Amino acid sequence: MAGPRDQIIEELKTAYRMELETALNYVANSINLDGIRAEEIKKALQADVTEEMNHAQQLGNRIKTLGGACPGSLALKFTQTAMQPPADTTDVISVIKGVIEGENNAVAQYEKLIKLCDGVDYVTQDLCITIMGEEEIHRRDFQGFLKEYTK
């Protein structure tokens, strides 16, 4: 049976995969969206790509520090259906909703890791608390966009 450290490494790998997938989908949506209404969303997505990649690098470094191996692309299974670029390149609202869903999933993953690390690995717990706070800011920003776009 896997010990606490092994469980933490596996959940870190999940978070790592989620961050990379989010960055890929943000890039695609920031390129594919069309129209004047899409410009602010495209800019926000472009800005967030760097932060999501930074999260992935921090998580990968923590995985390595704990004795795990950072997975390569063939070991990753992507699952973010809500953030796939829409067929209608002017469908800004579906992109915004996809981002919110993705951020909700990220926050839930970090909450899981924070609980798993409690009393076991304070360094990983602190990292997850910090990243979760940044994901909450992304979510809040896109919730604000949604309010404006659905008026």
Burial grade of 45 (CB within 10 A; 0-12, 13-18, 19 or more):
buried
> Token pair of 10, please?
């596996």
Q: What confidence tens digit (pLDDT) does each residue in 128-150 have?
A: 999 999 999 999 999 999 999 99
Q: What confidence tens digit (pLDDT) does each residue in 81-132 have?
A: 999 999 999 999 999 999 999 999 999 999 999 999 999 999 999 999 999 9
pTM value? 0.95
How many whole angstroms separate alpha carbon 124 and alpha carbon 144?
30
Q: Which residue in this structure is represented by tokens 């995969």?
A: 17
Nearest residue to 60 (alpha-carbon basis) of 125, 16, 14, 106: 16
- pLDDT value at position 3? 84
DSSP 118: T
Domains, the chain, with CATH or none:
4-68+89-149 (1.20.1260.10)
Give, in degrees to the nearest 5, the angle at Cα 53 between 49 and 55. Answer: 120
Residue 39 has pLDDT above 60, yes or no: yes
- pLDDT value at position 1? 55
Q: What is the mean pLDDT of the chain?
A: 96
- pLDDT value at position 19? 98
Confidence band of 151 (pLDDT split at 50, 70, 90): confident
